[in-house]
Amino acid sequence: MTRPENDDGEPPGGENDDGEPLGGENDDGEPLGGENDDGEPPGGENDSGEPLGDGQAGRVVELVWPAGRAETLRVRGDESIVDAAETAGVAVPYGCLYGACGTCTAELLNGELRHTDPPRALKDRSLDVGYVLPCIGTPETDCRLRVGHEIQAEVVGTPWK
Ligand code: FES
């Protein structure tokens, strides 16, 4: 019994036409895979060099005091107005920082503001006429608020009011 051979008399398998083993490198002699055109790994930053996402510039909040002083803040994300004021070095009245004491009470003159926790220091009738708590208040639009110690006295419940 004889073993079968192909037409050229060699065993099946072996080399390609130029005598090199199959597989290997691409045309420029570099290994396959690697980097993109700018030599940096894929992904990264946007055109301005800032990380992608969270590009929110924030809301402009103007604080006005009864004496006529005014300060403008930029409040970003869910930051409270009291936190933004502290960061900017603007002193505003506050106490508990969680909506219970009413020390920070302000009057919203323009814009929209959202309380991130229940505004327990204010009665519904005070909320209805525009009083807010900046310690748990974050602006939904650009806002203008009247601030100062006097404002709490306007809304604090008294036995004869
Ligand atoms: S600081 Fe107490 S309610 Fe705002």
Q: Report pLDDT digits (tens) over 39-90.
A: 444 444 444 444 433 336 899 999 999 989 999 999 999 999 999 999 999 9
Q: Is the C-beta atom of 101 inside 6 A of ligand 1?
A: yes
* Res 25 pLDDT > 90: no
Residue-level pLDDT at 121: 96
For the stretch 116-157, pLDDT in tens is: 999 999 999 999 999 999 999 999 999 999 999 999 999 875
Q: Is the C-beta atom of 106 inside 6 A of ligand 1?
A: no
User: Are the C-beta atoms of 107 and 151 separated by less than 8 Å?
Assistant: yes
Atom from ligand 1 closest to the CA of residue 135: 4
Strand order in the sheet with 70-75: 70-75, 59-64, 143-146, 106-110, 131-132
Helix (H) or strand (E) holding 62: strand 59-64
* Res 159 pLDDT > 90: no
Q: Residue ranges per domain, the chain? A: 59-155
Percent residues over pLDDT 90 in the chain = 57
CATH fold label, 59-155: Ubiquitin-like (UB roll) (3.10.20)
Atom from ligand 1 closest to the CA of residue 101: 2
How far, in Å, from the CA of 91 to the mean position of ligand 1?
A: 14
Residue spans of alpha helices (H) in the chain: 81-88, 124-128, 149-155
Atom from ligand 1 closest to the CA of residue 105: 4
- In angstroms, the CA 33 to CA 103 distance is 63
Pocket test for ligand 1, best of 92, 97, 123, 145 (most atoms within 8 A of CB): 97
User: Are the C-beta atoms of 99 and 137 separated by less than 8 Å?
Assistant: no
Maximum Cα–Cα distance across the chain = 121
